Amino acid sequence: MSDDLTAELAATLRAVRAEREMTVQTLAERSGVSRAMIAKIERGAAQPTAALLGRLAAALGITLSELFTRTEKDGRRLTRRADQPVWVDPETGYRRRSVSPPGGPAQIVEVELPAGASVAYPADAYALARHQIYLLDGRLRFREGDVVHELAAGDCLELGPPTPGEYHNPGDRPCRYLVILSARRG
**Lowest pLDDT segment from 64-68, 137-141, 161-165:** 64-68
**pLDDT value at residue 73:** 63
Q: CB of 21 within 8 A of CB of 61?
A: no
Q: Which residue has the higher pLDDT, 184 or 117?
A: 117
The arithmetic mean of pLDDT across residues 12-16, rounded, is: 91
**pLDDT value at residue 21:** 93
The CATH class for the domain spanning 1-70 reads: mainly alpha
**Domain map (residue ranges) of the chain:** 1-70, 77-183
Q: CB of 31 within 8 A of CB of 69?
A: no
Q: How confident is the model at residue 1 (pLDDT cuts 50, 70, 90)?
A: very low
Residue 105, pLDDT > 90, answer no
* Residue 172 Cα distances to 23, 118, 138, 150, angstroms: 43, 13, 9, 15
Under CATH, which number does the domain 77-183 receive?
2.60.120.10
CB-based burial label for 34 (10 Å; 0-12, 13-18, 19+):
exposed
pTM of this prediction? Answer: 0.73
Residue 2, pLDDT > 60, answer no
Residue 87, pLDDT > 80, answer yes
Most confident region among 32-46, 118-132, 156-170 by mean pLDDT? 156-170
**pLDDT value at residue 126:** 87
